[in-house]
Chains A and B, each alone.
Chain A
Amino acid sequence: MSKDNHELIQTMFPPDGSGVKPYEWMINPTRQRQWIDKQGIFLWLAFFFTEIGAGLYFVSMFYEYKAGLVLGWLIALFLGGLIHVAYLGNPLRAWRMIMRPNTSELSRGIWVIGAFAALGFLQMVTSGGFNIVFNVIMAILCLIIISHGFTTMNVIRALPAWSSNMVLPFSIVSGVWVGQQILQLMFAITGSADLVSGMEVWAEIFFFAYFLCLVLYGWGTWHANEIGQASIKMMVNDELKIITLIGVLGLAIVLPLIFTLIMWGGQTNGFVIFLRLASIFAGDLAVRYIIMKSAVYKPLLERN
Chain B
Amino acid sequence: MPRWGMVIDVKRCIACWGCTIACKEEHFLPPGVFWNRVLIGERGKYPSSSKLIYPILCNHCSDAACVEACPTGATYVREDGIVAIDDEKCVGCRACLVSCPYQQRTYYDKEVKDREYFPGQGKTEMELIGEKLYPFTLGTVIKCNFCTERLEDGMKKGQTPGVDEDATPACVNMCPVDARVFGDLDDPNSKINRMIMEHKGKQLRPEFGTEPAVYYID
Contacts and interface: CB of A to CB of B under 8 A. Distances in A.
Contacts of B41: 24, 27, 299, 301, 303
Nearest to A23: B40
Given A11-B115, A99-B73, A301-B41, A157 B92 contact: no
Contacts of B73: 96, 99-100
A88 B116 contact: no
A302 B140 contact: no
B16 interface: no
Contacts of B43: 301-304
B22 interface: no
Contact of B102 (A11, A26, A38, A110): A26
A25 interface: yes
B52 to A, nearest CB: 5
Interface stretch (A12-20, A71-79, A165-173, A266-274): A12-20
Contacts of B120: 4, 7
Contacts of A4: 120
Given A88-B91, A99-B73, A104-B71, A30 B103 contact: yes
A26 B98 contact: no
Interface string A64-101: 00000000000000000000000111110110110110
A273 to B, nearest CB: 37
Contact of B37 (A23, A104, A110): A23
Contacts of A152: 95
Contact of B93 (A30, A97, A298): A97
Given A110-B71, A301-B54, A10 B119 contact: yes
B72 A99 contact: yes
Nearest to A13: B32
A192 interface: no
Interface residues of A, number: 54
B154 interface: no
A156 B99 contact: yes
Contacts of B69: 103-106, 155-156
Contacts of B209: 157
A93 B115 CA distance: 26
A34 B98 contact: yes
Interface in B66-85: 67-74
A7 B107 contact: no
Interface in A38-54: 38-40
Nearest to A25: B37
A122 interface: no
A215 interface: no
12 contacts: A14-B32, A24-B40, A25-B37, A34-B98, A34-B107, A89-B90, A90-B90, A96-B73, A96-B89, A158-B65, A158-B99, A303-B44
In the complex, the 3 A-B pairs of residues with the closest C-beta atoms, listed nearest first: A89-B92, A89-B139, A14-B32
Interface of A: 4, 7-8, 10-16, 22-27, 30, 32, 34-35, 38-40, 87-91, 93-94, 96-97, 99-100, 103-107, 110, 152, 155-159, 297-304
Given A25-B37, A35-B94, A90-B92, 9 more contacts: A11-B31, A14-B33, A16-B32, A30-B103, A89-B107, A99-B72, A100-B73, A106-B93, A301-B52
